[in-house]
C-alpha cells in the first residue's frame, strides 16, 4: 500500500497494527487518489504515535468535503499537511512556492534568497545564519512534503 510505503519508511514511526488500521481508514478518505495518499503519508511519517495519527483521522472538517471530488481529496490532504507544519514562518515559506508555475525546478539558494527578501526568515544574527535557517526550512519542507 502506498501510504504504508511512505509513512513507515526508515526514520518514520514503527509499523504497528493500530497505525496500519488508522492508515487504511485515512486511505479510504483519500478516495484512492495517489497524490492525496502521498501527501498524507508524508504527514504521517512525521507523527510517531497512535494518538497523533488518530487526530488526523478524526479531522472531520478536512475530510467532510461536500463535493467529494478527487480534487477535493487532494486539496484536503495538502491543507492538512500545511496545517501541521510546525511554524508560521515555515507555512509562509511553503505558501511562497505556490507562485511558481507547475513543474518549475527551483534552485535551493535562489528560493532561500526569495524568502529572505520577503522577510520570511527570522533574522537571528548575520546574513549567513539567515541563509542557514533558510536551508534548514527547505530541508524540512522536503522531508515533510516529499510528494
Rounded CA separation 146/42 (Å): 6
pLDDT of residue 61: 59
Q: What is the pLDDT of residue 21?
A: 94
10 Å CB burial of residue 52 (0-12, 13-18, 19+) is middle
The answer, yes or no, to whether residue 128 has pLDDT greater than 70, is: no
- Does the pLDDT of residue 50 top 70, yes or no? yes
Vertex 90 angle, CA 30 and 4, to 5°: 30
Q: Are 50 and 16 contacting, i.e. CB atoms less than 8 angstroms apart?
A: yes
pTM: 0.69
Choose among 23, 18, 28, 26: nearest CA to 5.
Answer: 23
Give the position of cell 513543474: 103
Cell representation of residue 41: 503519508
What is the arithmetic mean of pLDDT over 138-147?
80
Let me know: does 50 contact 18? Beta carbons within 8 Å: yes
- Given a cut of 60, whether residue 60 has pLDDT beyond it is no
Cell of 103: 513543474
Amino acid at each position: 500500500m502506498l501510504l504504508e510505503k511512505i509513512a513507515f519508511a526508515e526514520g518514520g514511526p514503527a509499523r504497528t497494527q493500530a497505525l496500519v488500521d488508522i492508515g487504511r481508514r485515512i486511505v479510504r478518505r483519500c478516495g484512492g487518489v495517489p497524490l492525496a495518499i502521498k501527501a498524507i503519508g508524508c504527514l504521517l511519517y512525521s507523527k510517531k504515535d497512535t494518538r497523533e495519527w488518530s487526530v488526523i483521522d478524526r479531522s472531520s472538517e478536512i475530510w467532510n468535503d461536500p463535493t467529494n471530488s478527487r480534487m477535493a481529496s487532494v486539496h484536503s490532504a495538502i491543507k492538512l499537511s500545511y496545517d501541521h507544519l510546525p511554524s508560521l514562518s515555515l507555512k509562509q515559506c511553503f505558501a511562497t512556492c505556490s507562485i511558481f508555475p507547475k513543474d518549475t525546478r527551483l534552485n535551493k539558494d535562489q528560493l532561500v534568497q526569495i524568502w529572505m527578501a520577503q522577510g520570511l526568515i527570522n533574522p537571528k544574527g548575520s546574513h549567513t545564519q539567515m541563509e542557514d535557517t533558510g536551508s534548514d526550512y527547505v530541508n524540512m519542507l522536503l522531508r515533510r512534503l516529499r510528494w
